[in-house]
Structure 1
């Protein structure tokens, strides 16, 4: 995707976004549902986020739930596999092995347990994490720890919206984004 097409696609993302609630109200929240309704955005999201990868991955990870949408689109565009990062996964059988990690506090001050099926990530994999929004980085940091446990290589994180306050976390995750929260 050339520079002009990329700018038009990012402009479509911004146009389909809305803040809900009164700006003076603490309960104001981001509404990204317009992104999934737009066929143009759905068409462009894979190439846009794939273009943020600092090097080619062999597998794309996506955080439950919207990371499944964008991660699948990126994996399809890159012609690589996709692995789900589940929140509070449950084993289906005794032989169902998971790699688990508890997150630091997230944007709601929760500690979540994230997991990836052990059989889906290999030590030779180069991993790109994809999500729609990164706020505190807690889920991405926990996912990075899971990747390290497998011996796979962390390539980086690609997201639509960067809302991180910490440059240290941004560097640690090798985070690249399509837009920043201040631009919405």
Structure 2
């Protein structure tokens, strides 16, 4: 069994759907993924394996879980990491940021995503890393940020693909370790 297959199996075992019986909605509880040190250690290389052939120069991750997984993937690829912040503002006038507003996310929110302009340049080859993709709203926001920096979008790598749109999956060049139906 290769690393990705092994990681997929451990992800399934450490995952739980939560909710009380009368509830119409269960929610995903991935906290077991962060608690298992061997799984946490192997998540970076497993996700990196999805995109390494594209030769990224930087990994982007949206706070909070993208900021947890992104550095693990960046280390596995030997590249840098840029944290994409939600609804943050520059600390002073000379602190130039690139911002974009997302389409609705999984909570039907329009978020303002951004990072310092100096962190990405036109020579960069960008991959987005996150734990879960549902509507694609945040990924589209990061794609717009990448385009605004004139960098090259290589795609997104997530632990779980819960995206409903095949067209959006292709546009984002999405690769994932698991599909939501696997859980």
Task: Tell whether the structures are fold-level matches, with TM greater than 0.5.
Answer: yes
Shift of 1:40: 1.1
After superposition, residues 9-158 of structure 1 pair within 5 angstroms as: 9-22=7-20, 25-53=23-51, 54-158=53-157
Shift of 1:93: 1.1
How many matched pairs? 182
Partner Cα separation in structure 2 for residue 164 and residue 105 of structure 1: 13
Partner Cα separation in structure 1 for residue 157 and residue 124 of structure 2: 17
Shift of 1:140: 0.3
Partner Cα separation in structure 2 for residue 109 and residue 4 of structure 1: 38
Q: Is the 8 A contact 2:3 2:46 kept in 1?
A: no
Deviation beyond 3 Å, 4+ runs, structure 1 = none
Structure 2, gaps ≥5 residues long: none
**1:164 lines up with 2:163 in the alignment:** yes
CA spacing shift, 1:35–1:96, aligned 2, 3 Å: same
Shift of 1:19: 0.5
Structure 1, gaps ≥5 residues long: none
Secondary structure of the equivalent of 1:51?
Answer: helix
Shift of 1:23: 6.2
Partner Cα separation in structure 2 for residue 119 and residue 58 of structure 1: 15
Partner Cα separation in structure 1 for residue 3 and residue 69 of structure 2: 19
TM-score where L is the length of structure 2: 0.96
Partner Cα separation in structure 2 for residue 181 and residue 67 of structure 1: 18
Secondary structure of the equivalent of 2:3?
Answer: helix
Shift of 1:5: 3.1
Partner Cα separation in structure 1 for residue 64 and residue 83 of structure 2: 9
TM-score where L is the length of structure 1: 0.95
RMSD: 1.2
